Amino acid sequence: MPLPEGLYGLMAEFDSATDLVHAAKAAYKAGYRRMDCYTPYAVEEAAEAIGFHRDEVSLVCLIGGVLGLVAMYGLETWIAVWAFPLNIAGRPYYSWPAFVVPAYEWTILWSGIAAAFGMLALCGLPKTYHPVFNAPNFRNGATTDKFFLCLESTDPKFAAEEARSFLEAQSPVSVVEVEY
Amino acid sequence: MANDHFSKGLPSTLTAPPFVDSWRRRALIAGLVFSAIAVILGYLGQAQNQLGWEHLLRGWLDGFVMCFGFCFGAMALLFVQYLSGGKWGLIVRRPLEAMTRTWPLVILMFLPVAYFGATLGHLYPWAQYADWAPALQKGLISHDMAHAIEWKAPMLNVKAYWMVSLLCFAIFAMYVIFLNRWSLKRDADPEPNVTYWRTRFENLSGFGVVLFSVLLFILAIYWVMSIDPTWYSTIYGFQYLVGEPFVVLPLAILTLIGLGKAEPIRSTFRKIEQHDLGKLCFALVMLNIYFAFGAFIIIWSGNSPEEIPWYLDRIRGNWGVIATLDVIFHWLIPFTLLLSRDLKRIQSRLSVTCCIMIFAGFWDMFWLIEPSFWDAARHLQLTWGILEYAAMPAALFSFWLVYYFQQLKARPLIATNDPHLAEILEHDYVHA
C-alpha cells in the first residue's frame, strides 16, 4: 500500500476546553464526522461533541474479569476435588468459602490487565507515526495547555476552503494545515 | 476567561421547595399505617405463640438501630467530607446536616429499647438472667450462657447499658450541635476565611471520626451483639461503621434527586457530582462485603465452637435463604448495577439502586437481630411476629423521615461560603 500523501486535515487551536467543545459541537452540527479532538487531559464532553458515544474498554474489562473468575474458581475446584484432594480439618473437598478469595483476586487481576491492554489496543497503540505531529504548534501545546480540533480530509464533506472558513468562524487561536 | 459566560449564578431561592411538605405528609401517613399494622401484628402474634409483643420490641430495636444509623451515620459522613474535601461533600452537606438534627427523635426511640429490653430484660439474656445461678439450675440457660453472663457482667449490666448509651448520645449530640452551628456561622461570615473554617471543621471532624468509631463499636455490642452474650467478634463494630454510610449515602442521593425537580438543587446537582456519589456508593458496597465476608471466612476457617454457632444460628433452619438474599441485596445487585457508568449518571436508575441499598440495610439488620433469640436461632418460623420486622422498622423510619424532611426545610439547601461553590455553579462540561 502506498503511503498517503497530501492534506491530512485542518487543525484549529483553542485556549480552553469550553471553546473546543463548542467548536466540536458546531462542526458535528455542520455535518462533519471524521474529526478528532486533542486535549492535554481527558475532556469527556469533547468526545461526546464529536459523536463518540461509548468505548468498548468496559466490555473488554468485563470479559477479562469473568474469564479470571472462571479460571481461578475452576482451577481451585479441579485441584481440590479431582487432582489433589486433601482432607483439611475435615471440611468438604469442595469448600467454596475458601475458593472465593483467590477467585476474587484473579477477577481483579484479569479485569485490570484486560482494561489496560484493551484500552491500548482499542486506541490503536502503540503507534509510531501520526500526521498531527507535523503541526509545530501541536507539538508544543497538545500536552500542556492547548486544545485542538482537527477536521480530516477523508470526510466526504471536507473541502479545504470551506473547512478553513468554518474553523476560522469558531474564533480559534490559529488554523493550520496538517500534511501526511 | 472564556468560561465566565457559562457559569450560572446562585439560584435566587436556596430554601427547600414546597413539595417537601407533601413528602412529609406522605411519610406521616405511612408511619401511622405501619404503626397500626405493627400493633395488629402484635395481637395476632400474641394469639399465635405468645411472642407477639416480644417481636414488636425486636422490630422496634431493628427500626431504632436503623434510624440511629441514618442520624449518626450522616454525622460520620459529614466528618468524612470535611476531612477529605471535594465537591461531592458540598452538595450533600445540608441534607446530611438535616439528618443529624433528628437526634432528639433517635434518643426517644432508644428509651423503649432500654426500658423494656434491658431494665425489664425482654431483649437481653444478661439482663433477664443477671442472677444466673438459679436460672442455670432450672435449666433456663445453658452453661455457656451462664459463663458468659458471669464473666461479662462488668460490661453487660443494666446500669452500664443505660449510662454508656446515654453518655454516647450526649457526646454525639454535642458534635451534631457544633457541626450544625458552625456551618451556619460559616455561611454568615462576611469574609470567606477559607483556611480558618477548614481548619476548624477539620479539627472537629478528625477527632470526632475516631471517637465515633470507638463509641459505635461499644454501642453495637450493647444494643445488638449482646442479645447473644456468648459470642464476640472484633470486626462487628466496623461492619456497623460501613453499614451506616451504606444507607445514609443512598438516602442523601435520593433526597437530592427528589429535590432536583426544583431550584435550588436543579441547577446545582450536576451529573459530575451525581456520578461521584454513585462511585462512592460502589466503594461502600465493596467495603461492606469485604468486612462481612472477611468476618465469615475467618470464623469459618477457625471453625471454633466458641465462634461458629453464631453463623450456624443464622444459616441453618431456613435462615440460609435469608442470608443468601442478604448477600444478593447487599452486594450482588448493587455491585452489578453500580458497575455501569451510565447507570450512575441516569437519575431514575440510580434512585432504584439507592432504594435497593436502603432495603438491604433493613434486611441485614433483621438477619443480625432475630436469630440471636433462642426461639428463632436455627429455626426460621414464618409467624405473624416475623412480619414485625417489616412493620415496626417501616413505621419508625417513616416517622424519622417526617422529622428529617422538616429539618430539610429549616435551612438553605446549599452552603454558600465554600470554595467549591464556584465549581458546582459551572456547567457540566467545563473541567478546567
Domains of chain B: which residue ranges? Answer: 22-417
Residue A3, pLDDT > 80, answer no
Query: Of A107, A122, A137, at which residue does a domain stop?
Result: A122
User: CB distance B429–A44 less than 8 Å?
Assistant: yes
Cross-chain CB nearest to B2 (options A16, A43, A97): A16
Domain of A70 in residue numbering reads as 58-122
Cross-chain CB nearest to A18 (options B3, B296, B339): B3
Count of pairs with CB atoms under 8 A, one residue in A, one in B: 35
Is A173 in the B-facing interface, judged by CB distances under 8 Å?
Answer: no
Q: Would you say B77 and B277 are in contact if contact means Cβ atoms under 8 Å apart? A: no
Q: Give the confidence band of A171 by pLDDT, cuts at 50, 70, 90.
A: confident
pLDDT at B384: 92
User: CB distance B6–A18 less than 8 Å?
Assistant: yes
Is A43 in the B-facing interface, judged by CB distances under 8 Å?
Answer: yes
What is the rounded average pLDDT for all residues in chain A?
Answer: 89
For residue A2, is it within any domain? Answer: no
- The alpha carbon of residue A128 is apart from the nearest alpha carbon of chain B, in Å, by 30
Considering the domain architecture, whether residues A144 and A104 belong to the same structural domain is answered as: no
Mutate to test the interface with B, among A15, A16, A18 (most CBs of B within 10 A): A18
Nearest chain B residue to A18 by CA distance is: B430
CA B76/CA B212 separation, integer angstroms: 7
CA A116/CA A100 separation, integer angstroms: 24
Residue numbers in chain B where pLDDT is lower than 50: 1-6, 430-432
CA B432/CA B425 separation, integer angstroms: 13
CA-nearest of B167, B182, B166 to B78 is B182
- CA atoms lying within 13 Å on the CB side of residue B374: 11
Is B5 in the A-facing interface, judged by CB distances under 8 Å?
Answer: no
CA B309/CA B298 separation, integer angstroms: 14
- What grid cell was written down for A62? 468485563
Q: Give the confidence band of A142 by pLDDT, cuts at 50, 70, 90.
A: confident
Considering the domain architecture, whether residues A33 and A13 belong to the same structural domain is answered as: yes
User: CB distance B2–A15 less than 8 Å?
Assistant: yes
Cβ contacts of B19 within 8 Å, gap of 6 or more:
B261, B262
Give contacts of B301 with chain A, Cβ < 8 Å.
98
CA B279/CA B273 separation, integer angstroms: 10
User: CB distance A19–B293 less than 8 Å?
Assistant: no
Give contacts of A15 with chain B, Cβ < 8 Å.
2
Q: Would you say A89 and A76 are in contact if contact means Cβ atoms under 8 Å apart? A: no
pLDDT at A51: 82
Considering the domain architecture, whether residues A116 and A148 belong to the same structural domain is answered as: no
- Cα–Cα distances in Å, from A122 out to A60, B47, B141, B339? 10, 67, 66, 20
Is B429 in the A-facing interface, judged by CB distances under 8 Å?
Answer: yes
Neighbouring-strand partners of residue A178: A9
- The alpha carbon of residue A45 is apart from the nearest alpha carbon of chain B, in Å, by 6
Cβ contacts of B281 within 8 Å, gap of 6 or more:
B249, B250, B253, B334, B338, B353, B354, B357
For residue A80, is it within any domain? Answer: yes
For residue A1, is it within any domain? Answer: no
User: CB distance A17–B431 less than 8 Å?
Assistant: yes
Express each pLDDT in A148-170 by its tens digit: 999 988 888 888 888 888 888 88
- The alpha carbon of residue A7 is apart from the nearest alpha carbon of chain B, in Å, by 31
User: CB distance A45–B428 less than 8 Å?
Assistant: yes
Cross-chain CB nearest to A89 (options B303, B341, B428): B303
Nearest chain A residue to B427 by CA distance is: A18
Q: Exposed, middle or buried: residue A42 (CB in 10 Å: 0-12, 13-18, 19+)?
A: exposed
Nearest chain B residue to A55 by CA distance is: B341
Strand duo A35-38 + A174-179: pairing: unpaired
- The alpha carbon of residue B339 is apart from the nearest alpha carbon of chain A, in Å, by 9
Give contacts of A41 with chain B, Cβ < 8 Å.
431
pLDDT at B2: 38
pLDDT at B5: 42
Is A115 in the B-facing interface, judged by CB distances under 8 Å?
Answer: no
Q: Would you say B168 and B220 are in contact if contact means Cβ atoms under 8 Å apart? A: no
| Widest CA span in chain A | 81
pLDDT at B7: 57
CA-nearest of A68, A46, A38, A26 to A166 is A26
- What grid cell was written down for B364? 441485614
Q: What is the mean pLDDT of residues A9-26?
A: 90
Considering only residues 253 to 312 of chain B, which have any Cβ-Cβ distance to chain A shorter than 8 Å?
Answer: 293, 296-297, 300-301, 303
Is B21 in the A-facing interface, judged by CB distances under 8 Å?
Answer: no
* Three-class secondary structure of residue B62 per DSSP: helix
Is A44 in the B-facing interface, judged by CB distances under 8 Å?
Answer: yes
Express each pLDDT in B257-272 by its tens digit: 999 998 888 888 988 8
Give contacts of A58 with chain B, Cβ < 8 Å.
341
Is A108 in the B-facing interface, judged by CB distances under 8 Å?
Answer: no
- The alpha carbon of residue B342 is apart from the nearest alpha carbon of chain A, in Å, by 10
Considering the domain architecture, whether residues A115 and A156 belong to the same structural domain is answered as: no
Number of domains in chain A: 2
User: CB distance B429–A89 less than 8 Å?
Assistant: no
- What grid cell was written down for B305? 465452637
Considering the domain architecture, whether residues A117 and A67 belong to the same structural domain is answered as: yes
- The alpha carbon of residue B376 is apart from the nearest alpha carbon of chain A, in Å, by 25
User: CB distance A97–B429 less than 8 Å?
Assistant: no
Considering the domain architecture, whether residues A91 and A113 belong to the same structural domain is answered as: yes
pLDDT at A1: 59
